[in-house]
Amino acid sequence: MKTKENIVNTISNKTYNATPSTIDKKWVIVDAEDQPLGRLSSRVANILRGKTKPEFTPHMDTGDNVVVINAEKVKLTGKKMTNKQYFRHTGYIGSETFTSAKEMMEKDPTSLITMAVKGMLPKNKLGRKLAKNLRVYAGPVHPHTAQKPEISEN
């Protein structure tokens, strides 16, 4: 019969869980020029979540800070620029608003990428915390040069 000590001694491979002291957060630049919105946002969501790192822990913020530049040059395939509708509701009766992707790009080009990435993050406290690590800029200039960000290859 196996005792409790024998069972503990036979288990040598333990699951790794990251702790806040072991997490190494970097800054990453992603260029959105001529990239499809969905593919770009899923890649950014994976970097924010930390799934590109070997020490990924699902319940921790192990991801990097992401700076997305050239948001105004992101590509939407097909007729999505005119046909895709974004829905808003203020909470009052009959006050639902539909905005096309083209109108959103003219008003604020960063909102398309921000909404797409937030939709791919978890819908809980962790997702809201991860969304704060995303910075999106319409042009190629950003104020995060002091953080020495790395340029993403893809």
* Least confident stretch, 72-81, 104-113, 145-154: 145-154
Query: Which residue has tokens 């539909």?
Result: 98
Looking at every residue in the chain, the average pLDDT score rounds to 92
Q: Is 67 exposed, middle or buried (0-12, 13-18, 19+ CB in 10 A)?
A: buried
- Domain that residue 139 falls in: 25-151
- Is 140 a domain residue? yes
CB neighbour list of residue 81: distance below 8 Å, 6 or more residues apart: 100, 101, 102, 105
- Is 66 a domain residue? yes
* SS3 state of residue 126: helix
CB neighbour list of residue 19: distance below 8 Å, 6 or more residues apart: 60
- Is 64 a domain residue? yes
Query: Which residue has tokens 């333990």?
Result: 14
Q: Per DSSP, what are the bridge partners of residue 67?
A: 29, 135
CATH number, domain containing residue 73: 3.90.1180.10
- Is 12 a domain residue? no
- Is 57 a domain residue? yes
Q: Per DSSP, what are the bridge partners of residue 28?
A: 66, 150
The answer to whether 61 and 50 have CB atoms below 8 angstroms apart is yes
CB neighbour list of residue 135: distance below 8 Å, 6 or more residues apart: 65, 66, 67, 68, 142, 144
- Is 113 a domain residue? yes
* CA dihedral for 99, 100, 102, 104, sign (positive or negative): positive
Model confidence at 16, in pLDDT bands (50, 70, 90)? confident
- Is 38 a domain residue? yes
- Per residue in 33-72, pLDDT (tens digit) is 999 999 999 999 999 999 999 999 999 999 999 999 999 9
Put simply, whether the predicted model's pTM sits higher than 0.85 gets the answer: yes
- Is 54 a domain residue? yes
What total number of domains does the chain contain? Answer: 1
Percentage of the chain exceeding pLDDT 70: 91
- Per residue in 98-129, pLDDT (tens digit) is 999 999 999 999 999 999 999 999 999 999 99
The C-alpha angle 110, 116, 122, rounded to 5 degrees, equals 125
